[in-house]
Amino acid sequence: MSLKVWLHVRTGWPDTDRAVPSKVRLEPPTWRRALTFSIVLLILLQIVTGVALMTVYSPSPSTAWASVWYMQTQVPSGWLVRGLHFFASDTLVVLLVGYLLCCIVTRAYRAPREFVWWTALLVTGVVLALAHTGYLLPWDQDGFWGTNVRLNIIARTPVVGPMIQRLLMGGATYGHGTLSRFYTLHVLILPAICVVLAWLGLKWRRRAIVAMDPETSDKEVASISQPVRNCLAGTAVMLVVFALAGYTHHSLGSEWLDAPADPAGADYPARPEWYFLFLFQWLKFFSGSTAEMIGAIVVPCVVAGVLFAAPFYESLVSARRAQKFVVGYAIFLVVAGVVLTGMAVAADRRPSEESVALAQRKQRDGAELSSRESGVLRRHEFHEKRAATRRTADRAIELADESGIPPGGPLVMLADDPETAGPKLFAANCASCHRVFGHDGTGVVPSEPATSSDLGGYGTAKWVRSFLDDPMADRFFGLMKKPDGEPAHTKMDRWLSMQVEDADTAFLEKLRQDFDAVAAYLEDESNRPGRLAGLSDAELDGLGDPTVVRGRRFFLDTCNECHSYDGEREGTTRAPEMRGYGSVAWLELMIAEPGHDTRYRTKGREPAQMPSFSDRLTPRERTLIAIWLHSREATKRLKAERERIVSAKE
């Protein structure tokens, strides 16, 4: 058979004089055909829901996330439309892989079905490309950094890789050009290719049936069973898609949307979609740009090439051997994919608190970590970063629900939000010395040990009370050293030792109650600076808050010997000003000028050890950190999140 005839029999092109029967014998009812029907049904669902999403979606870095938020939370049943579109894509990938496996088992790739087989492979590739381009469109952290990783892998392709990357990026950086090109690919070019390929596949399948039975009679064989199978399969698939969308909305709600994409947040722990996890794990076996190119480009192309060439194997070996090879090859790929996916999931599972604490302790002590302990810290950091991103996403949704998203986009909204920007600024500027509940403010525990106090809950009665019990504890002054290595602040510890030395039980009990009172007073001073200043004893007694009043009096009688209030002190020892202690204004000045005369000064026996940030941070940035540290709600949320994670693991 000549190439022209071979091509004509399978595709109808080119038009030759060879006659091909126009009547087609219907195949016996098969579930593979029902699978084809379900695939076509999902493609139609993708088109319908995609058009609905286009009525709201706005492809711009400043509006994309906002439009997805609006569709999911504000449009009636918008969550359902997005859920159907999302899970129909995932289900389509599963059905296409299942269809390819059915073709392999039933030998439906053999002549004259070569073009049908090749079309199925191409449709699978286009659907994966559709999923990849759609992954970026919400313009959230997961999609943004996942796309960044993929395009960097593509760029390693020899010769054409960098060109393809620049073409898809639409510029030197990821931004509006990238989103516009991915949007065009996702809603126009790739769907058109997919529809054309699906149509050609159905057309070529019809011709293949004719070629397999050239003596077809004029009377078609009707089959009632096949439509029933189609309906059963299509109904089952649609129920699964609807169930997944409903369950996700019920269990996650607005949490289904990740944090807005932040190009400056380069430490985001990106992970691919579940059906690409095997490739993510596979690439861990390759190190170096050349090796990664082989693992990410060469090997997948070889794997696809072996499948593409399946129809020709029978011309090289017997049909039985060819079938055994193709089936064995498919089983190997499925098993390898499942194993690699399982390894990827296992590699990211949350480590136990005990193992994390042990590894962190060894790291602080400078001991060499084993590979297992390093893995524990990596997994812990991965989950902490994911938790921080989740908090940012929840906060963005909360702010959007409260007052909408400004024209500048969600990043502008978050950049002026103390609860979001505060921990990031703290992690970047303060966490080299300080901690907040043991971490850097974003949930990550730095590898370098802390050298100053832990500011989690700073200014609260609980924090002050713990400080008064043991000022030289590691979470307070214990880690702070002078340049010569001596302890930096010991006056409070010496004063406390003098109070309790040779004291009887009655005095210690009174001192404990006084400490409770002064801690409550300083918290009140932090929240309402100067509220009690200038009040007479009668006015203080009339406030109806005896603990705070007692703390005020204890401060004036005892603490005021060292600590000033409104610039006045009774003794000669200079300690920080306590009016508004721990308030936003107090913290702002402490961050800007820790050596200020009302703080720790630059001279004396115990000068300020903290550097000035007046020229490192803008006034607004200092305010954001101060508001965040002072915010009781923010610190409560942060602590509650960590406690929730610990309790969930237990």
pLDDT above 90 (res 489): no
From residue 448, alpha-carbon distances to 7, 385, 466 in Å are 67, 17, 25
pLDDT of residue 649: 45
Segment 129-152 shows an average pLDDT of: 90
Query: Would you say the pTM of this structure is higher than 0.85?
Result: no
Q: How far apart are CA 328 and CA 81, in angstroms?
A: 40
Task: Grade residue 212 by pLDDT with cuts at 50, 70 and 90.
Answer: low
pLDDT above 60 (res 619): yes
Q: How far apart are CA 578 and CA 526, in angstroms?
A: 9
Segment 623-644 shows an average pLDDT of: 70
Q: How far apart are CA 126 and CA 116, in angstroms?
A: 15
pLDDT above 50 (res 222): no
Contact residues for 406 (Cβ-Cβ < 8 A; gap 6+): 412, 413
Higher pLDDT, 443 or 331: 331
pLDDT of residue 13: 66
Task: Grade residue 334 by pLDDT with cuts at 50, 70 and 90.
Answer: very high
Q: What is the DSSP secondary-structure string of 265-286? A: -TT------GGGHHHHHHGGG-
User: 287-308 pLDDT, tens per residue?
Assistant: 877 888 888 888 999 999 999 9
pLDDT above 60 (res 143): yes
Q: Can you give the length of the chain in residues?
A: 650
Task: Grade residue 367 by pLDDT with cuts at 50, 70 and 90.
Answer: confident
The pair of three-digit structure tokens given for residue 153, joined into one six-digit string: 């892998």
* Domains and their CATH numbers in the chain: 33-216+229-270 (1.20.810.10), 461-649 (no CATH)
Contact residues for 521 (Cβ-Cβ < 8 A; gap 6+): 532, 547, 548, 549, 550, 551, 552, 554, 555
For residue 166, the SS3 value is: helix
Q: How far apart are CA 561 and CA 566, in angstroms?
A: 13
pLDDT of residue 511: 93
pLDDT above 80 (res 8): no
Segment 159-166 shows an average pLDDT of: 86
Number of H helices, E strands in the chain: 26, 0
Percent of the chain with pLDDT over 90: 45
pLDDT of residue 291: 84
Q: C-alpha 117: how far from its chain's center?
A: 37
pLDDT of residue 636: 57
Nearest to 58 by CA among 199, 176, 210: 176
CB 414 within 8 A of CB 396: yes
The secondary structure of residue 187, as a DSSP letter, is I
User: 46-78 pLDDT, tens per residue?
Assistant: 999 999 999 999 999 999 999 999 999 899 999
Q: What is the DSSP secondary-structure string of 211-236? A: HH-TT--SSPPP-SHHHHHHHHHHHH
Segment 4-31 shows an average pLDDT of: 57
pLDDT above 70 (res 503): yes
User: 260-275 pLDDT, tens per residue?
Assistant: 998 887 678 888 888 8
Q: How far apart are CA 273 and CA 142, in angstroms?
A: 10
Q: How far apart are CA 375 and CA 356, in angstroms?
A: 10
For residue 631, the SS3 value is: coil
pLDDT of residue 641: 54
